[in-house]
Amino acid sequence: MDIKSAIQQAALPEHIAIIMDGNGRWAKEKGESRIVGHYEGVVSVRDIVEGCGEIGIKYLTLYAFSTENWSRPKAEVDALMELMVSTIRKEAEHLKKNNVRLKLIGNITDLPEICQKEMQEGMDITEGCTGLTLILALSYSARWEIVAAAKKIAKDVLNGTITEEEINDAYFGKCLTTAAFPDPELLIRTSGEHRISNFLLYQIAYSELFFTDVHWPAFRKKDLYEAILNYQQRERRFGMTSEQVKP
Ligand code: FPP
């Protein structure tokens, strides 16, 4: 049986989040500049979006640019911004044809205007799509998001929209940039690092974590399917006992 057909449809994660790491190291190993690694990373993005669509994943969140990434050398930041713009410009119609809806999370107003405009156009073009929702995390960090949510809730209490007693984890979740999406059941990080790097800290409370040594530019559908198969072999207990969660 090939790896794709081994996946149980009834136990698919609804939402997969990916920390795409290793573009720079992949490029270095090939004697290329880091930017080449980012360009090849887009080839992986295309393959993984297609792979998610093929098996019926509903949400895919990609950590494409973190708040901390602004501290990289200016040439690399500029190249990444240009790559986002050119990729979305090229791919928006293709996404629509494949019924993929584009969404963004992050401090979007930090992005160059052309990038904001192109992303907005991509979201407008794909607005009515009902297959996979592709969520790009751009200028995103979980601490930024949690602090913004705390500020919003403080205002809500001050202006009487909500009382302190009514604040609960569901309300908090609704104040995050991911309010419209379910929490990811599976979080994948490529390239051998075992850390979360300020990504979706609130939302991954009960996510299954999968780490692979494969660098992002080399990550393909088969690697995604391997991660899903691994996820399907796990027992998710949510703090309960094994006996309680056994079907
Ligand atoms: C991490 O590898 C990768 C990034 C910071 C950028 C990821 C962006 C892309 C793949 C482009 C995506 C484009 C769209 C439109 C979704 P790294 O540079 O940290 O690699 P290293 O750890 O080996 O140095």
DSSP string, 11-35: G--SEEEEE---HHHHHHHTT--HH
| Pocket lining for ligand 1, CB < 6 angstroms | 20-25, 34, 38, 41-42, 45, 62, 64, 69, 80, 83-84, 87-88, 136
Supply the pLDDT for residue 1.
74
What's the chain's average pLDDT? 98
Q: Has 183 been annotated as catalytic? A: no
Which residue owns the Cα nearest ligand 1 atom 15? 84
Q: Has 168 been annotated as catalytic? A: no
Spans of all domains in the chain: 12-141+185-233
> Separation of 235 CA from ligand 1 center, angstroms?
31
> Separation of 49 CA from ligand 1 center, angstroms?
16
CATH number corresponding to 12-141+185-233: 3.40.1180.10
Q: Retrieve residue 187's tokens.
A: 């979080």
Supply the pLDDT for residue 63.
98
Quick one: average pLDDT of 13-28? 98
Quick one: average pLDDT of 42-53? 98
Quick one: average pLDDT of 193-211? 98
Supply the pLDDT for residue 89.
97
Whether pTM > 0.75 for this model: the answer is yes
* Type of residue at 224: L
DSSP string, the chain: --TTTTS-GGG--SEEEEE---HHHHHHHTT--HHHHHHHHHHHHHHHHHHHHHHT--EEEEEEEEGGGGGS-HHHHHHHHHHHHHHHHHHHHHHHHTTPEEEEES-GGGS-HHHHHHHHHHHHHTTT--S-EEEEEEEE-HHHHHHHHHHHHHHHHHTTSS-GGG--HHHHHHTSTTTTSPPPSEEEE-TT----TTSSTTTTTTPEEEE-SS-GGG--HHHHHHHHHHHHTS---TTS-HHHH--
The residue behind tokens 């073009």 is 125
Q: Does the pLDDT at position 161 exceed 80?
A: yes
Quick one: average pLDDT of 175-180? 98
Supply the pLDDT for residue 247.
79
> Separation of 207 CA from ligand 1 center, angstroms?
22
Supply the pLDDT for residue 36.
98
Q: What is the pLDDT of residues 77-121, one digit of tens each?
A: 999 999 999 999 999 999 999 999 999 999 999 999 999 999 999
